Amino acid sequence: MTLIDGDIAASHDSVLEQTKPVHRRAAVFIDRDGTINEDIGYLSHPDDLHIYSFAAEAIRLLNDANLPIIVITNQSGIARGFLDELMLARIHERLLNKLAQQGAHVDGIYYCPHHPRIFPNESYVIGDKSSDINLATNAGAKGILVLTGYGASTYANLERFPCYPSMVAEDLLEAVRLILTERQQQSRD
């Protein structure tokens, strides 16, 4: 930071810049199976993908409203061995092609290939910005603020933000050690 005419000027990504008005943009997150396409259990081949008749129109309406569409999907079938990530990519390619044939598109597809046994209240989010801590809070996880990157500025201005970290660490290594220590203590209880 530099001092200019008695005011503090900061780099474009600093906490001070984060308080300036920004263009806020909404997005729509849509589950895949049972919402866009029929849920047949573990969809494991592109030929088994059957998109609901209304799905492309619904997505096209969101496209016309300039709302980004993010498809999210749990794909524990990968962890269970019903399909691999290459096959999932082929399924998603077919989904995108079918939507495109009807004038609709999505902006991204994100999936979790693990077993659905992650408990947010026992999980952690590590980051250097207030948005990382907000993510942790909103997910029901513990937020750990690291003082690297923008962390020191974020920590110095915590009162400006809606959420507070569960823990503060000097860096990622210390954050990991805090997690491991806490988990070790919990296993003893």
Q: Domain residues of the chain, as ranges? A: 28-112, 119-188
Query: For domain 119-188, is the CATH number 3.40.50.1000?
Result: yes
How far apart, in whole angstroms, are the C-alpha atoms of residue 90 and residue 149?
A: 38
Q: Which residues are catalytic?
A: 31, 33
Sign of the torsion formed by the C-alpha atoms of 79, 80, 86 and 88: negative
Nearest to 65 by CA among 25, 22, 100, 21: 25
Cβ-contact 106, 99 below 8 angstroms: yes
Residue 111: strand, helix, or coil: strand
Task: Report pLDDT for 20.
Answer: 55
Task: Report pLDDT for 81.
Answer: 95
Name the CATH architecture for the domain at 28-112.
3-Layer(aba) Sandwich (3.40)
**Residue 11 — very low, low, confident or very high, per pLDDT cuts 50/70/90?**
very low
Cβ-contact 142, 119 below 8 angstroms: no
How far apart, in whole angstroms, are the C-alpha atoms of residue 57 and residue 36?
A: 11
Cβ-contact 145, 128 below 8 angstroms: yes
How far apart, in whole angstroms, are the C-alpha atoms of residue 17 and residue 168?
A: 22
Q: Do domains 28-112 and 119-188 have the same CATH topology?
A: yes
DSSP 20: S
134: its two tokens? 């907000």
**Residue 117 — very low, low, confident or very high, per pLDDT cuts 50/70/90?**
confident
Query: Quick one: average pLDDT of 37-47?
Result: 96
Cβ-contact 125, 133 below 8 angstroms: yes
pTM over 0.85: no
**Residue 56 — very low, low, confident or very high, per pLDDT cuts 50/70/90?**
very high
Task: Report pLDDT for 58.
Answer: 95
Query: Quick one: average pLDDT of 51-66?
Result: 95
How far apart, in whole angstroms, are the C-alpha atoms of residue 183 and residue 136?
A: 17
Q: pLDDT: is 135 or 2 the higher one?
A: 135
